[in-house]
């Protein structure tokens, strides 16, 4: 602890907080209190920097006029409105786990891929409202929906890749938004919803870098899980599907009689087209 001042660069708030607590525990209340106060100042700087980083990462993709709701059915209510940037991620690892289960259970249910969306406060007025509101639902949202980087993950959108009838009944569809933990945003006009739809379509087509992770675009991530060559498809069948069916139903030595691969370049194109066809009627409210 006595060596903290020897560092020329700022340490993390958690380091100052830990040192301050230890000082207080050994009886140095004044010095410990000063470090705890300073830790709070550093924490505010860290939060401010995280907000700037989140905004800079997404501002080029558009500003959106959004309302956040809480609750379900007749108990759903508007919590707050404001100006937000949006961030997205593709749940590719989750999809791979689901695909393995889908095969193991005989392709007997709909297989879908989830896209997750977060809102990021874009102006001081929206940020102040979120940070200072004493309304219980807003306070709960603030404390439980933010992972320290000012990205509030509220919405999920599914692309259905295969219907439950099985591979031969392949069809791609897109539904409306699904909430996360009882919170959901909607756009405040049809124009805003259309702006979002166009951004998402361009992103899935590889025309936008929105949601890129480790230099991999969303389009690259999408292709990596819904486009499989025949060798990879057969390996999946052997690992997860054929063991549940047995040799009586499928000839292990004759792959030509196995279920056909539904994960092709056409699958990717149809997934993108499904988003282009998506209705925006349930994405906004005037």
Write the pLDDT tens digit of every residue in 27-77.
877 777 777 766 666 666 667 788 888 899 999 999 999 999 998 888 889
- Report the pLDDT averaged over residues 160-177: 64
What gap in Å lies between CA 208 and CA 202, rounded to an integer? 6
- Report the pLDDT averaged over residues 210-223: 94
Nearest-CA neighbor of 99 among 249, 252, 225?
225
Q: Angle at Cα 283 formed by Cα 279 and Cα 286, nearest 5°?
A: 115
* pLDDT band at residue 208 using 50, 70 and 90 as cut-offs: very high
CA distances for 204 relative to 90, 96, 199, 275, angstroms: 10, 18, 9, 9
Least confident of 13-27, 129-143, 162-176, 240-254: 162-176
Nearest-CA neighbor of 187 among 119, 254, 237?
119
- Report the pLDDT averaged over residues 148-159: 87
Question: What pLDDT was estimated at residue 89?
Answer: 94
The yes-or-no verdict on residue 172 having pLDDT over 60 is no
**DSSP-assigned letter for residue 10:** P
Using one digit for the tens of pLDDT, what is the confidence trace for 13-22? 678 778 778 8
- Report the pLDDT averaged over residues 96-107: 91
Question: What pLDDT was estimated at residue 170?
Answer: 44
Among 4-8, 94-98, 149-153, name the most confident range.
94-98
| Residues recorded for the chain | 286
Number of Cβ within a 10 Å radius of residue 277: 12
- Whether the Cβ atoms of residue 262 and residue 170 lie closer than 8 Å to each other: yes
pTM beyond 0.85: no
The yes-or-no verdict on residue 114 having pLDDT over 50 is yes
* pLDDT band at residue 169 using 50, 70 and 90 as cut-offs: very low
Q: What's the farthest any 2 CA atoms get from each other in the chain?
A: 79
- CA within 13 Å, CB half, 177: 26
Question: Residue 69: helix, strand or coil by DSSP?
Answer: strand
What percentage of the chain has pLDDT greater than the value 90? 42
């Amino acid at each position: 602890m006595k060596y903290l001042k020897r560092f020329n660069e700022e340490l993390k708030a958690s380091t100052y907080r830990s040192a301050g607590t230890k000082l207080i525990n050994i009886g140095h209340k004044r010095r410990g209190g000063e470090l705890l106060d300073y830790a709070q100042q550093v924490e505010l700087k860290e939060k401010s920097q995280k907000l700037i980083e989140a905004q800079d990462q997404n501002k080029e993709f558009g500003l959106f006029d959004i309302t956040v709701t809480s609750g379900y059915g007749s108990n759903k209510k508007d919590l707050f409105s404001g100006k937000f940037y949006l961030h997205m991620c593709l749940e590719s690892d989750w999809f791979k786990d689901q695909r393995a289960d889908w095969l193991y259970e005989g392709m007997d249910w709909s297989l879908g891929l989830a896209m997750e969306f977060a809102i990021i406060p874009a102006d001081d007025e929206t940020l102040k409202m979120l940070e200072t509101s004493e309304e219980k639902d807003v306070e709960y949202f603030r404390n439980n929906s933010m992972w320290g980087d000012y990205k509030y993950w509220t919405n999920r959108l599914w692309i259905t890749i295969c219907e439950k009838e099985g591979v031969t009944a392949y069809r791609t569809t897109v539904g409306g938004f699904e909430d996360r933990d009882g919170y959901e945003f909607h756009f405040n006009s049809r124009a805003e919803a259309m702006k979002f739809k166009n951004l998402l379509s361009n992103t899935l087509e590889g025309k936008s870098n929105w949601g890129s992770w480790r230099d991999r675009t969303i389009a690259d991530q999408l292709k990596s899980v819904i486009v499989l060559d025949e060798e990879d498809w057969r390996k999946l069948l052997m690992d997860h599907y054929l063991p549940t069916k047995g040799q009586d139903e499928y000839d292990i030595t004759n792959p030509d009689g196995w279920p056909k691969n539904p994960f092709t370049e056409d699958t990717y194109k149809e997934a993108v087209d499904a988003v282009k066809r998506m209705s925006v009627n349930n994405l906004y409210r005037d």
